[in-house]
Structure 1
Amino acid sequence: MVEEEAKSRGIKVKSTTLAFPNYAIVDHWIDGELQKRIMSKDYDYVVVQQGPSSQPEGRKMLIEDGALLKKLCDKYDTKLAYFMVWPSQTYYHTFDGVIKNHRDAAQQNEAILCPVGEAWKAYFDENDDFSLYGTDGFHPSPKGSRLAAQVIVDTLLGDG
């Protein structure tokens, strides 16, 4: 969807995905494929995303494991970006923690922040409409995915 959003703005983007269920940044670090891809020097940006991370353990992983990636990205002239996510509807009350922990991780690691979660929260707060969530109340609906892609493109390629 990021490629499609960029194309709609006249920008050509090529992306690859490295994602597995229930993986945190540390899991990618341990399995080593992410490092191989960064070392290939084929990427301008590495966008990392893990679960909501509103709790202390998730915060620690965002910051500490993000620092490992930042060091590697810097060595291979790649920019690290955090994809700020959102909590499930059930844990909506943790949204401020999700936002804070992603903001802090990006700031402490001198990385880019794609504030998708902030855009979601603003939408909910303004419209009292939770249609960005899919049927499971956690993953995004197509509408939520489109908004995420817009924020990522805005942040990395222009208007953000």
Structure 2
Amino acid sequence: MIRLLCFLVLISCSRLEQLLPPEAAGSDSTISVLLVGNSLTYTNNLPELIKKEALLFGVEIRTEMLALPNYAIPDHLSDGKLQRLIKKGDFDFVVAQQGPSSQADGRQMLLDTAPVLDELCKKHGARLAYFMVWPSRQYYQTFDGVITNYTAAAKSVNAILCPVGVQWKEVTDTGDFSYYGLDGFHPSQKGSELAAKIIWESIHPNN
């Protein structure tokens, strides 16, 4: 009789858990994202914009940002804080960017650090993604190099590519420069909103 009662209780609990929403059933469905970069990430608080984009699809995400002026990915790796953050194992995605990187030195930085960053992410349960940026209006002619080099870095380690620069260029090629801020390099609010939309669609393609 006791065994039968225990069995019935287990069945009842199982059915109740199926009826409850994920958070009530005890599972943590929140997606966590670390954004690593420089002023192109912290201008207009890109992490908060990504949160808002996710909420449009009913998804709650947690974000953290490690972004400093004029920093490239090697600078973050040299400091060591990036490694400490990832090693905590708190992130599902690490979204990285540096400057436009259209020239040979920028390309080499992306390619040299890609395997290091990717291995670090995989070891601690995260997926690496690259936030493809854009050149300043002054060096707009280098845009194809930005696209090529970020794409190459992502492909080299099978990372996620967030092709913000591709859509940015499609619009600016028409003569609409509204994605640029007043300084002709940092994003306007509209530009950051575009970046947030594409990053979210890239890391969560089933929304």
Shorter-chain TM range is over 0.9
Normalising by the residue count of structure 1, what TM-score does the alignment of the two structures yield? Answer: 0.96
Match for residue 136 of structure 2? Answer: 88
Provide the rounded CA distance (Å) in 1 between the counterparts of 2:206 and 2:187.
Answer: 23
Matched, 1:101 2:145: no
Secondary structure at the aligned position of 1:128 is classed as coil
2:181 counterpart residue number: 134
Q: Say whether the 8 Å CA contact 1:132–1:142 is kept in structure 2.
A: yes
1:154 partner SS: helix
Distance of 2:64 and 2:70 partners within structure 1: 19
Q: What SS does the corresponding residue of 2:65 show, helix, strand or coil?
A: coil
**Whole-Å Cα distance in 2 between the matches of residues 159 and 27 of structure 1?**
33
Matched, 1:30 2:78: yes
Give ranges in structure 1 of 5+ residues lacking alignment: none
Partner of 1:9: 57
Residue 98 of structure 2 corresponds to which residue in structure 1?
A: 50
- 1:118 Cα deviation (Å)? 0.5
| Alignment partner, residue 36 of structure 2 | none
CA contact (8 A) 1:25 1:66 kept: no
Aligned pair partner of 1:119 in 159, 167, 182: 167
1:145 CA displacement: 0.4
Residue 56 of structure 1 deviates from its aligned partner by 0.5
The separation in 2 between residues aligned to 1:120 and 1:148, in whole angstroms, is 9
Give, in whole Å, the separation in 2 of the partners of 1:42 and 1:33: 14
Structure 2: runs of 5+ lacking an equivalent: 1-48
Of all paired residues, the percent bearing the same amino acid is 53
SS of the residue corresponding to residue 179 of structure 2 reads: coil
Aligned to 2:120: 72
Contact 1:63 1:109 in 2 (8 A): no
Please say if residues 114 and 156 of structure 2, whose CA atoms lie closer than 8 Å, have aligned partners that are also in contact. Answer: no
Q: Tell me which structure has the larger Cα radius of gyration.
A: 2
Moved over 3 A (4+): none
Structure 1 residues 41 and 145: CA distance shift in structure 2, 3 A: same
Aligned mate of 1:20, from 43, 59, 68 = 68
Q: Does structure 1 conserve the Cα–Cα contact (< 8 Å) formed by 2:180 and 2:191?
A: yes
Measured after TM superposition, the shift of residue 159 of structure 1 is: 5.4
| Equivalent residues, number | 159
